[in-house]
Amino acid sequence: MLNLIKIKDKKKEQAASAAGKAPVKKQSAGELRLHKDISELNLPKSTSISFPNGKDDLMNFEIIVRPDEGYYLGGTFVFTFQVSPSYPHEPPKVKCKTKVYHPNIDLEGNVCLNILREDWKPVLNINTVIYGLNLLFTQPNDEDPLNHEAAAVLRDNPKLFEANVKRAMAGGYFASVRT
């Protein structure tokens, strides 16, 4: 039965190609859901979205967060989103492209946000993830860190943490890594 469907689809593609039309790519359920999520985005004023590969590639995009309060005020942080065809049953893969001194983001750009891991549920959407990323900058979490050193400084000496954030955002060094 599956073979018959494939043959039928192939014939449709050949007929469209013969008529001079580009073949229509069938969208996965994940692409359809992502299209809906993006069309319904309600971004905070400190956040924007871009599609580096063009609007035809919705499964890969960037979110730019510019915190308007807190330790990271004045910074610009770029996150890449890679969304699998099985979205929303799997969370998007999110990485921070901007080096940042943060308890919940390591120097490789991995992001520690519970809704991207164990607390992900298909009812959540891209908007929820974006609000979660914004929350990381207004309320860094020292209880579930990826960068344990930054978490310890935040917990034990918030003034030093603030100074370290400012130095890192100005292009300073941390743990012998230039930010």
Q: Are 49 and 41 in contact (CB under 8 A)?
A: yes
How much is the average pLDDT of 161-175? 86
Look at residue 26 in the predicted model and tell me its pLDDT. Answer: 79
* Residue-range domain boundaries for the chain: 27-173
Structure tokens that stand for 68 in this block: 């308007």
How much is the average pLDDT of 127-150? 96
pLDDT tens digit sequence for 29-45:
899 999 999 999 999 99
- Output the pTM of the full model: 0.82
Q: Which residues are catalytic?
A: 112
Strand partners, 47: 65
pLDDT tens digit sequence for 8-22:
555 666 666 666 655
Report percent pLDDT > 70 for the chain: 82
CATH architecture of 27-173: Roll (3.10)
Q: How far apart are CA 50 and CA 11, in angstroms?
A: 36
Give which of 144, 140, 132 is closest to 158, Cα–Cα: 140
